[in-house]
Structure 1
Amino acid sequence: MSADTRPARPSAIAGYEDWPAYVRQHPRYRAATAAAQELSDALGVPAVSRLQEVTVQWEETYDGVTTSQLSWQLGFGPATTGWLVRPADSAGPLPGVLALHCHGGNKFGGADRLVELPTNHPSAEAARAGHYDGHALATETARRGFAVLAHDSFAWGSRRFDLSTPPWRTASALEARRAQWREDGVVPSEADDYNASAAFHEDTVAKTAGLLGTSLAGMVAHDDLAALDILAGLPGVDADRLGCVGFSGGGGRSLALAVLSPRIRASVVTCMMTTFQSLLPAYLDAHSWLLQTPGLWKLGDWPELTARSDAGFLVQYALADELFPEDGMRQAHRVLETLHRDGKYIGAFWPGGHVFTTAMQEEAIDFLAGALHLKTPFTTAL
């Protein structure tokens, strides 16, 4: 078969063919301090282009909160979907919180796992039940008096890659998974099939990012910085009182965002803190490319990155966390106590595994309320 008659090879970055040009055309994100700039450079965070208009797709008020579905285009890849959740009939500017969804092995969905919607997709319900103790974190936080923005980040939900025709390496691994499902009598859902494909495809995304001089974490940080700009500019949001909260991969995003943007006054990092050394050799496979950016250790250990931010940090540890050894978490805690003798760090150890429990969520919201000087009376369904 001649080269001219060979079947076309599927795109390895379907839906994102304009991604390379965007990265080439946008210089590195310029941080406010030299210390933050080093993280921007290490992750390869592209500068955020000037955003087009944010569109309100719909808005509904129920159960004490008003939820608005928003969308915006970042200049490459599919448009972003996000949800703004705020107390119904709230008066005056509210402190803003960016709620950052976890990795969770679920890229079919994104921030929908954090928001109570008129109709939630089963994959969002499963993520909420498995990782958030059944709660919609963004909605519950809004009930306490915050304006909360939860958005799909790069490669998740509305920003996912088109894997309907997977590239050949992903297709080969996916076929093996499908064969196992057939042997086991399992009929996968659309989300199951996509998430299996996306798990294999993450290596391809990371390779592409590395070739472009960025990283998976850098591209996610790009989307998070854009969402933070949107949150800060929304009517009724106090741009001087902004925080972020995330569990697992979202916790890593929360740490990075607090370093990259001085707008963040308070950051909650839940089930995403240890030393890099403690991951060697047995815990590396527990984590995705979202944590393991090549060369990141050159800047210092994971807990040491917090010293590059002026934000206050609440770090929550789960003592039986399957993804982190206890000695690594405790060593990180000691490092953080040493670095933040100014009182800007609180470490909390909780029983149980890799779950953002109800009690942990209450502690996180209380921390944000104190750090961002919440004035609205608290109400919560947690």
Structure 2
Amino acid sequence: MSSPAAFGGYDDWPDHAGRTPHLPGQFGALFGIPTPPDVVVGGAPEGGGVRSREVHVRDGVRAVRLRWSVGFGPDLAAWLLHPVDADPATRPGVLALHSHGGIKSLGAERMVDLPGVPAHVLAYREQAEEGAAVASDLARSGFTVLAPDAFGWGARRFHLGVGDPQAYDAAAREHEHLVAKACALFDTSWAGMVAHDDLTSLAVLRTLCAPGPVGVLGFSGGGGRAALLAALDDGIASVVVVAMMCTLASLYPDHVGHSWLLHTRGLASGPDLVGLLATNPARHVLVGYCARDRLFPLQGQRDADAALHQAFAAGPGSYTPVWADTDHVFTRALQRDATEHLHATLPPTISRTMDSTEERNP
């Protein structure tokens, strides 16, 4: 049995679930996605406004910590990153979505070059992303990047009464089963709750970057988040999904032990992961496949690759597969491919730089 303390910080979740309708359409119903609230950049905190907090400048990238309410539970936090000498409103926007990684004490921080990141998170970054701070590197290349925490991670984590980050992550791995069961009680899913939060992050990004289409990128669980957002929002013109694409039927019987993020009833027998990316053949999709991925069977990846080739064959968008002879890793080479893809498929930078004395918002 569990107790109310098992859902610390989320006392208002049941009430929110009961009064908030799902997003309309196929995917809102399939994932049970609550309709997200409006978030106002520059608005009052009590009205759901975005607040900026700490600021770091490292190696030419300015990182600002933002927070806002999503209507229930702890506030969502995200890092806004952009070249230090550029106005973020002149740069194309990219939403950078962190992976699952078995690390819930922190979310977006694993993608951002920051001081004080715990050693076990740095070790994960070294193993999973070859030491790169992916969101910071994207900003350094010229994008305005928003890297948000997900529902259940970082600022949106559940309060489990465990202070040490590494001990918290161990407890959170077991706690995930309870949260998934609570999601079922509330007629939603873990992926649906994450999508709810990510939609608010997408709205915030659009108010801070250059106007026009935006991109979204994710590795592993972040790739699943990116694919679902693409299915929900046609304004996402460019998508990068790394180490998170195969046919779901191929997971049985040897690869079923994934996070609850991947186990939404009806997804495998319906659109599948391929169907999420194929909702809009006008967008530009890059998928990174890891040929020796221990989490996804090779044949399932090949079948997904073939299905996506077929889905995008007539255009007007594009599908680019990139195969890496590696385990479940977002390699530096795949990161370069992802960055080049986003630059090639998003609108160019607006010609305006930020004067050193200019007021920056946020």
**TM-score (norm: length of structure 1):** 0.85
Q: Is the 8 A contact 1:115 1:136 kept in 2?
A: yes
Structure 1 window deviating more from structure 2 (318-327 vs 336-345): it is: 336-345
- Whole-angstrom CA distance in 2 between matches of 1:358 and 1:50: 36
Taking the TM superposition and a 5 Å limit, the aligned residue runs for 1:1-382 are 9-30=3-24, 37-51=25-39, 52-91=48-87, 93-164=90-161, 190-234=164-208, 237-285=209-257, 287-309=258-280, 310-341=282-313, 342=315, 343-375=317-349
Residue 293 (structure 1) shift: 0.6
CA gap 1:364/1:340 in 2 versus in 1, 3 angstroms: same
- Whole-angstrom CA distance in 1 between matches of 2:3 and 2:319: 51
- Whole-angstrom CA distance in 1 between matches of 2:271 and 2:38: 32
Residue 301 (structure 1) shift: 2.6
SS at match of 2:287: strand
CA deviation vs aligned residue, 1:312-356 (integer Å, no higher than 9, x gap): 210000000010111111111001101111152111111110010
- Whole-angstrom CA distance in 1 between matches of 2:308 and 2:91: 30
Residue 15 (structure 1) shift: 1.2
Q: Is the 8 A contact 2:90 2:350 kept in 1?
A: no
Aligned residue identity for 1:243: G
CA deviation vs aligned residue, 1:82-108 (integer Å, no higher than 9, x gap): 110001111561100000000001111
Residue 25 (structure 1) shift: 1.5
- Whole-angstrom CA distance in 2 between matches of 1:80 and 1:25: 20
Larger Rg: 1
Structure 1 window deviating more from structure 2 (54-63 vs 243-252): it is: 54-63
Q: What percentage of aligned pairs have identical amino acids?
A: 41
Aligned residue identity for 1:212: F
**TM-score (norm: length of structure 2):** 0.89
CA gap 1:59/1:328 in 2 versus in 1, 3 angstroms: same
- Whole-angstrom CA distance in 1 between matches of 2:159 and 2:122: 23
Aligned residue identity for 1:354: H
- Whole-angstrom CA distance in 2 between matches of 1:59 and 1:301: 40
Structure 1 window deviating more from structure 2 (306-315 vs 96-105): it is: 306-315
SS at match of 1:54: strand
- Whole-angstrom CA distance in 2 between matches of 1:146 and 1:265: 15
Residue 375 (structure 1) shift: 4.2
Aligned residue identity for 1:209: C
Root-mean-square deviation (Å): 1.8
- Whole-angstrom CA distance in 2 between matches of 1:304 and 1:218: 16
SS at match of 2:151: coil
Residue 212 (structure 1) shift: 0.5
Stretches of structure 2 that go unaligned for 5 or more consecutive residues are 40-47, 352-362
